[in-house]
Amino acid sequence: MKKIAFLVTDGFEDIEVKVPYSRLKELGYKTVIVGTTEGREITGKRGKVTYRTELSIESIKKEDFDAIVIPGGYSPDKLRMNKEVVDFVREFYKTNKPIAAICHGPQLLITARVLNGHQLTGWESIAVDIENAGGDYLDNSVVIDRNIISSRKPHDIPQFIDAIISELDKGEKEELSA
CB atoms near residue 117 (< 10 Å): 10
- Model confidence pLDDT, tens digit, residues 120-166: 999 999 999 999 999 999 999 999 999 999 999 999 999 999 999 99
Residue 95: inside a domain: yes
Residue 178: inside a domain: no
- Domain count across the chain: 1
Distance of CA 177 to the CA centre of its chain: 27
Indicate which residues carry an active-site annotation: 103-104
CATH code for the domain in which residue 79 is found: 3.40.50.880
Residue 111: inside a domain: yes
Residue 153: inside a domain: yes
pTM: 0.95
In this model, does residue 173 exceed pLDDT 70?
Answer: no
CB atoms near residue 81 (< 10 Å): 11
Cα-based angle 149, 70, 141 (whole degrees, multiple of 5): 40
Average pLDDT, the chain: 96
- Model confidence pLDDT, tens digit, residues 84-121: 999 999 999 999 999 999 999 999 999 999 999 999 99
